[in-house]
Structure 1
Amino acid sequence: MQDSTNKFTKIRKHTFNKFKTAFKKTALTVFAVGAISFAADVSAHANTEKLTTVYYVYVDKQYIGTVTDRTTIDGLIDTKLKEAQSSNENLKLSLNSEVTYVPEQVFHASFETNNTEIAEEVMKEIKVHADASALIIDGNPVAYVQNSEEANEIIKKLKLKYVSEEELNAVEAIKASDNSTLPPLKENETRILDVELSKEVSIKTEKIEPAKILSVEDAVKLLEKGSLEEVKYKVKEGDVLGGIAHAHNLKVKQLLDLNAGLTEDSLLQIGQELNVTILKPFIHVIINKEYFTNEVIPFEKEVVENANMFKGDTKVKQEGKDGKRAATYRISVQNGQVITKEIVKEEILEQPVKHIVVKGTKVIPSRGEGSFIWPTVGGYVSSHVGYRWGRMHKGIDIARPSNRTIKAADNGVVVSAGYQGSFGNKIVIDHKNGYRTIYAHLSSISVSPGQVVSKGSKIGVMGSTGNSTGVHLHFELYKNGALQNPLNYIR
């Protein structure tokens, strides 16, 4: 009996090895033949022993173990599928792996196995997958939805964020039409030619874990923002917008755009949450449209120098006049922002006329250039032109300079230089071009009547002579005898 058992064991091992080799090369029917041959061998050598059927369990052709009862595994698989299906009623579910059983008859007494342990190993290897539609961008799946209908709905919803349903339908009608000739646009009319995505999106059926399948709304959000989760930052004591932005690799403008209602003047509160998520959209919506308008062509300006005219003098040689044109623009708008704008067709209705000005360049020391410099070394305006203390204050007062030197505001000839009542020490300069300037309250005067002075040259020292409330310069400017505000002329 012992010899018979040993011989059977050798035969069984030999048959199992033959079976493993055959499984890799042929179909399951070969294993059945092997099992039959084995049964014949067993019958010939040990027909007195009781035989039982065992099952070699494979997951995707990978041997897992041997069981005497396959119903345990089948039951667990069936339960797993039913539980998953109850949570995903709209999905078509299946196993991600193929479970295969190969039967063999063996002596019951010589074969031991643990059905429960093998069943648990099988369940570790298999998962439930669902048929889904993947949206493919740049060759990579970026989102999964239930079916192709939902995938197409996502693409449509992305476009409808920037155009109306009516506009989208009109675009589709234009693209589907055989007639490529569109009616001419009316003035100030815009026509959408196409609504497209910045990258090609393809749809492919794949099997995926049900948990990775998104709703239409979440898929749209993911494509728009590149993420479904927003990173939040809590404001701490001492935080400022610039510092928060820099710490998260953002510009201040980006941080403001991410947080509605936040401005550069907003007062941050400790504990306040700010969105610091950098948006990296997978795709953009681009609208191509054309626009027709009648528009102004601005005239050009030209300055011609004339050495025979005094510097500061100008005259108009030719009045400028705007032109007109009818223009058709092609415009591309990405996510609501214009990215390109070009004229594709134009018709000049009226040519513009250039505006030509002749400018004098002739300089003589006694004649001003028509532009004025600040008459002190620094300082600030302590009193402006206008009514003050019930009477007209005819100039500006300049106080607290870096030093007290008073300078000629432009080239000219000194008309008067001396003490004059409430003005104290006063200088009047005629710039020989219609302008005169007055400098008052000086502590000392450095020029005399009839003297030619150049722009920026020293003419005196600031003081507080005459009717003065303190050390300052009282400065007046006249044009053709009319009082002017010096601040409108000083450069």
Structure 2
Amino acid sequence: MRGSKGIDWARKLWKQSKAQWQSLTSKQAEPTSVLKDSAAPGRGKWFFLYSISSIALIGTLTITGQDYVEANLADIYPVKVGQETLGYVSSPEVLKEYTADREQKLAKQYPDVHMILPELEQSEPERAFRQKPDDSKVLALLDEKLKPVASGVELVIEGKTFAIVKDQATADKVLAEIKKPYEQKAKDSSQVAVLSADTAKPASTTVEKVEFVQKVETSDALGIQPQDVVKPDELIAKIKTGGVEPTKYTVLPGDCVSCIAEKLSVPKQVIYDKNPWIVDDQIREGDVLDLTVIKPALSVKTVEKMVENQDVQYETEVITDDTVKEGIVETISPGKNGLKQVTYELTKVNGQLVDEKIIGEEMVEKPVPAKVKKGTKVILGEGTGSFAWPVVSHSITSTFGTRWNKLHKGLDIVGNRAIVAADNGKVVSAGYKSDYGYYVLINHMNGYETMYAHMSKIETTAGTIVEKGEQIGVMGSTGDSTGVHLHFEIHKNGGLENPLKYLNH
């Protein structure tokens, strides 16, 4: 500003001097302004020379002053945290390097936590005269004033916060890890091909849907403490166990599997699953049983489609001969089993089957009936060799096959509660057993027997000849049963058969 004022003054003085000189050289009237009081022309010339010298001097000083000021001016950058100015740094790069270095240190200090460093305000540079920035002092103050904040992602199960993880990617990875075992095709034939225990033909299974039973959500979590964040491995273990501690039980004198299950309110299946070394319910005093009942925080539901080939039992065409004694059969032409492709939909929760249904059947190869000549001198009760459904409007709730290392010997059926004989035969036994409840056993006099179990009422007696379709009892839930249904078995020459071989679905 001083340099600018000096220039203005010099310009003014120059104008006055120029006017005075013109006055002297042209011998005009007396000059005005500064030369107004000068009486002699000689004095005016000296004043003019003085003015010229002054202008030159002031110009020189002004230019030199401006150069000096410019040489000592520099851009400095204010650093603020909130409303407080901590000082000035020499360049924005100083702050960028500081931020990158600080974030790197935080990442090393808290590898499992996402630490957020508040963003520094980008201020415009200021021009300052002979003022030096102090980078080190400002950065030291930033270490003190700039407080990092921990952030994460909440894993919310059924509306309640279950845990906090580092970020969304970690949450997604944990949830994917919980689903992973169930997204792969099951390879254990004892679990997959449970419906084909009587055939060597393998079943093909595809997983069509994998989802959580519970509602799972994620949301941002701010203002948390670093110790609130759970490591991925720890969270996976917590989800799988539900935080349940292991439970051990030492077998006492007189204990049995059923007794322990009833005494401790633990399902028998849990005892078998957790202690696979138990064979035929044999346990001894001092044995230590694992009775831990896992309650996962998240349950995985899968829907699988299983396609299985099943034999279709051929029928026998009988040509009667009243001259042939009962029981004598001559084969005219042998029969051949057919083949059908059955599609099942299996619903599982955490790998355990909770529902199964037949959603399709396709005959691949029709069975070829056998032709036999048979004597007509028969007693009442001999079966036809062709079985009818023992329940009208039937629906299968559980099929024949191995489950959890145990054989399910027949079909579980619901529908009309009236139970009828599947073929002609003679009732050889009717009564009560602890496992079957009220039951009826029919001998069909042709190598086949059928068993009907868990009845609520028996409508026949041992020794009675029954016809195909005749009512023999009422469906119930007696014996070792968890609900009203009919347990139906087919025996051939003393061995178990899959009833679906003989029944058209």
Fold conserved (TM > 0.5)? no
TM-score by length of structure 1 reads: 0.36
* Larger Rg over CA atoms: 2
TM-score when scaled to structure 2?
A: 0.35
